[in-house]
C-alpha cells in the first residue's frame, strides 16, 4: 500500500512509520495481518516478516484460537469501535499491556479491520500528582492484574472489572453485569461446590469465600481461577447486601499440578493407571461393595512367556507389546471397569458390580480379543496370549480384602496348567489342585 507525498509533507507511509501506536490492517476472516506500521513489530522485538501474514492472535496472550477470533470478529463488525484491553507478547518473553481499538470498513468490496494498539504500561503506573486517594484506589483495583467483581446481593447486579473480562476473553463493554453471567461460566462440575462455599460464607460459617475452580472463557475453553471474596456491606439487620472479590488466573499452575498428578498416577509406558493409583481405586471399590454388599470381581492378568518376546525381538518391541496389551484391555473392558499395570507384564482388572457370570464373560472377551488381533502383522511378533486369575466377591471370596491375593493364586494356577486361560479362585477352593479345570 503506497501513499503519495503531497506538497512536500511526509507521505502517509512515513507518518505511519513514526507513529508511537501500533497499527494493523487485518483480514477479518483469517485474523491475518495484511499490513502494519513499524511500531507493530519493532515494539515487540520482531522483524516485519515475523508479523506480516501471520495471525494477529500470535502477538497476544489473551485470545486463543480461531473460534474465539470468529466470535470477536462478529462483535467488531457490529460495533463502531471495539476496545480490547490485553497483553502483547514481547520477543524476550515479557508482556506489554495494550489497549486495542478496532474499527471495520469495506474497501472495494473487501472487508477489513483496522486495529490501533497502544502500550498502556505507563498509564498503569499511578499518577501521584493527579489522583485523589479514592481515585487511586479505584484505579489500582481496576488496573490490577487480577480480576475484580462487586456483587449486589439485593439486585444480583455484578460489576466485572475489565481485567476479569479480559481474563475470559471479553472486551470491557461485554458481559451482562448480572450474577447469572458468572454462574453460567462456572464449570458445571465445580458449580455446586463453589455455590456452597459462597452460601457458607453468607451464613457466617466461613470467614471468607475462597475457591479454585474452572471458568469457561469466550472460546468455550476452561481457565482455572483462584477466587476470593468477602461480604463488605450489610443491612440494618446484619444481613449481607454486598460482596466483593478478586479472581486470579491460575491456569498455568493448575495445569502443571494436574500434569504432575497425572504423571504420579499414570504408568508411563502403557498410559493406564499405575499400581499406586490403581490400588487406591481398588480400595474405593472394596469400600463401596462393603457398604452395599454388591458383587465385585478382581482379575490378575499376566502376559504368557513374555520373556521370550524380549529375548527374541528386543526390549523396545517388548515395550510396544505391553502398550498394545493395555490398549486392547481398555477397549475390551466396560467403561466402568478399571485396568492398571501392577508391574512388569502383569495387569489388574477391577470389575465393579460384576458377579461370577459377568466376570467370566469379560475374561472370555479378553481371550477372544487377544486371539483376534493380528500380532504378527501389526508388530511382527507371534500371537500374544494371557493368563487370568479371577476372584469374585462374595461367591469366591467372602472377604473383600483378600480378593486380590485370591485372584493372584488363581493366576498362578492358570499358568501352571498351561497358560492362555482363566482360572477362578472359587474353583481352587472347591477342588483339589489337579482337578481344577480352566474356564474356556
For the bound state, the minimum distance from the C-beta of residue 53 to ligand GTP, rounded and expressed in Å, comes to 48
For the bound state, the minimum distance from the C-beta of residue 404 to ligand GTP, rounded and expressed in Å, comes to 18
Nearer to ligand GTP, 303 or 362 (CB): 303
Candidates 307, 312, 334, 401; binder of ligand GTP (CB under 6 A) is 307
**Binding to ligand GTP (CB under 6 A): which residues in 375-434?**
415, 419
Q: Does 319 bind ligand GTP (CB under 6 A)?
A: yes
Candidates 318, 333, 342, 351; binder of ligand GTP (CB under 6 A) is 318
Q: What is the C-alpha to C-alpha distance for residues 284 and 201, in angstroms, rounded to an integer?
A: 32
Q: What are phi and psi of 299, to 5 degrees?
A: -125, 140
For the bound state, the minimum distance from the C-beta of residue 28 to ligand GTP, rounded and expressed in Å, comes to 53
For residue 326, give the H/E element and its range.
helix 315-332
For the bound state, the minimum distance from the C-beta of residue 298 to ligand GTP, rounded and expressed in Å, comes to 19
Binding range to ligand GTP, per CB under 6 A, among 172-180, 226-234, 304-312, 421-429: 304-312
Query: Helix crossing, 315-332 with 356-372: angle to 10°?
Result: 130
Q: Does 267 bind ligand GTP (CB under 6 A)?
A: no
User: What would the DSSP string read from start to end of 281-318?
Assistant: HHHHHHHHHHHH---EEEEEEEETTHHHHHHHH-HHHH
CB 223 within 8 Å of CB 168: yes
Counted residue by residue, the chain has a size of 440
Q: Does 344 bind ligand GTP (CB under 6 A)?
A: yes
**Binding to ligand GTP (CB under 6 A): which residues in 268-297?**
269
Q: What is the C-alpha to C-alpha distance for residues 81 and 275, in angstroms, rounded to an integer?
A: 58
Candidates 30, 248, 251, 310; binder of ligand GTP (CB under 6 A) is 310
Strand-pair partners of 157? 178
* Half-sphere exposure (Cβ direction) of 164: Cα atoms closer than 13 Å: 25
Candidates 302, 337, 360, 408; binder of ligand GTP (CB under 6 A) is 302
Nearer to ligand GTP, 191 or 373 (CB): 373
Binding range to ligand GTP, per CB under 6 A, among 117-125, 167-175, 314-322, 324-332: 314-322
**Binding to ligand GTP (CB under 6 A): which residues in 60-99?**
none
Nearer to ligand GTP, 275 or 415 (CB): 415
For the bound state, the minimum distance from the C-beta of residue 187 to ligand GTP, rounded and expressed in Å, comes to 37
For the bound state, the minimum distance from the C-beta of residue 297 to ligand GTP, rounded and expressed in Å, comes to 22
Nearer to ligand GTP, 71 or 319 (CB): 319
A 10 A CB-CB count for 429 gives: 14
Residue 361 burial (C-beta neighbours within 10 Å; 0-12, 13-18, 19+): exposed
Nearer to ligand GTP, 156 or 416 (CB): 416
Instruction: Give the number of residues in contact with ligand GTP, rule: CB under 6 A.
Output: 16
Query: Helix crossing, 275-292 with 251-265: angle to 10°?
Result: 80
Candidates 39, 117, 197, 322; binder of ligand GTP (CB under 6 A) is 322
Nearer to ligand GTP, 212 or 319 (CB): 319
C-alpha separations of 56 from 22, 41, 146, 265 in Å: 12, 11, 24, 39
CB 251 within 8 Å of CB 167: no
For the bound state, the minimum distance from the C-beta of residue 329 to ligand GTP, rounded and expressed in Å, comes to 16
Q: What is the C-alpha to C-alpha distance for residues 237 and 392, in angstroms, rounded to an integer?
A: 61
* Residue in 189, 195, 219 with CA at minimum distance from that of residue 209: 195
Nearer to ligand GTP, 45 or 344 (CB): 344
For the bound state, the minimum distance from the C-beta of residue 318 to ligand GTP, rounded and expressed in Å, comes to 3
Q: What is the dihedral of CA 209, 212, 213, 218, to 10 degrees?
A: 90
Binding range to ligand GTP, per CB under 6 A, among 90-98, 120-128, 140-148, 318-326: 318-326
- Give the burial string for 164-183 (b: 16+ CB within 10 Å, else e): bbbbbbbbbebbeeebeebe
Nearer to ligand GTP, 103 or 385 (CB): 385
Query: Which residues form the interface with ligand GTP (CB under 6 A)?
Result: 269, 302-307, 310, 315, 318-319, 322, 344-345, 415, 419
Amino acid at each position: 500500500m503506497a501513499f503519495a507525498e503531497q506538497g512536500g509533507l511526509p507521505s502517509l507511509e512515513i507518518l505511519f512509520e513514526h507513529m508511537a501506536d501500533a497499527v494493523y490492517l487485518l483480514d477479518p476472516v483469517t485474523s491475518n495481518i495484511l499490513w502494519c506500521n513499524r511500531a507493530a513489530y519493532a515494539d515487540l522485538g520482531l522483524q516485519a516478516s515475523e508479523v506480516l501474514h501471520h495471525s494477529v492472535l500470535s502477538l497476544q496472550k489473551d485470545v486463543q484460537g480461531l473460534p474465539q477470533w470468529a466470535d470477536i470478529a462478529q462483535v467488531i463488525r457490529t460495533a463502531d469501535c471495539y476496545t480490547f484491553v490485553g497483553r502483547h507478547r514481547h520477543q524476550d518473553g515479557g508482556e506489554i499491556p495494550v489497549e486495542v481499538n478496532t474499527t471495520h470498513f469495506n474497501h472495494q468490496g473487501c472487508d477489513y479491520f483496522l486495529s490501533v494498539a497502544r502500550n498502556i504500561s505507563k498509564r498503569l503506573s499511578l499518577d501521584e500528582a493527579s489522583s485523589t486517594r479514592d481515585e487511586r484506589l479505584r484505579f489500582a483495583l481496576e488496573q490490577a492484574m487480577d480480576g475484580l467483581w462487586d456483587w449486589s446481593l439485593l439486585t444480583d447486579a455484578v460489576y466485572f472489572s475489565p481485567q476479569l473480562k479480559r481474563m475470559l476473553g471479553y472486551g470491557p463493554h461485554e458481559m451482562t453485569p448480572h450474577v447469572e453471567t458468572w454462574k453460567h461460566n462456572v464449570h458445571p462440575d465445580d458449580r455446586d461446590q463453589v455455590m456452597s462455599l459462597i452460601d457458607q460464607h453468607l451464613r457466617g460459617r466461613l470467614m471468607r469465600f475462597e475457591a479454585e475452580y474452572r471458568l469457561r472463557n469466550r472460546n468455550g475453553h476452561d481457565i482455572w481461577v483462584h477466587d476470593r471474596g468477602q461480604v463488605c456491606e450489610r443491612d440494618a439487620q446484619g444481613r449481607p447486601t454486598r460482596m466483593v472479590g478478586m479472581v486470579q488466573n491460575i491456569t498455568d499452575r493448575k495445569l502443571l499440578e494436574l500434569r504432575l498428578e497425572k504423571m504420579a498416577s499414570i504408568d508411563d509406558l502403557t498410559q493406564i493407571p499405575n499400581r499406586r493409583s490403581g490400588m487406591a481405586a481398588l480400595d474405593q471399590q472394596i469400600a463401596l461393595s462393603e457398604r452395599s454388599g454388591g458383587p465385585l470381581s478382581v482379575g490378575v492378568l499376566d502376559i504368557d512367556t513374555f520373556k521370550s518376546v524380549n529375548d527374541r525381538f528386543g526390549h523396545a518391541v517388548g515395550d510396544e507389546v505391553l502398550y498394545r496389551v493395555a490398549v486392547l484391555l481398555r477397549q475390551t473392558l466396560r467403561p466402568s471397569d478399571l485396568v492398571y499395570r501392577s508391574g512388569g507384564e502383569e495387569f489388574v482388572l477391577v470389575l465393579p458390580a460384576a458377579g461370577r457370570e459377568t466376570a467370566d464373560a469379560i475374561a472370555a472377551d479378553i481371550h477372544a480379543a487377544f486371539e483376534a488381533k493380528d500380532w504378527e502383522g501389526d508388530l511382527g511378533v507371534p500371537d500374544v496370549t494371557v493368563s487370568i486369575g479371577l476372584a469374585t466377591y462374595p461367591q469366591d471370596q467372602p472377604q473383600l480384602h483378600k480378593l486380590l491375593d485370591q485372584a493372584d493364586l488363581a493366576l498362578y494356577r492358570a499358568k501352571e496348567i498351561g497358560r492362555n486361560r482363566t482360572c477362578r479362585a472359587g474353583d481352587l477352593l472347591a477342588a483339589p489342585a489337579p482337578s481344577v479345570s480352566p474356564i474356556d
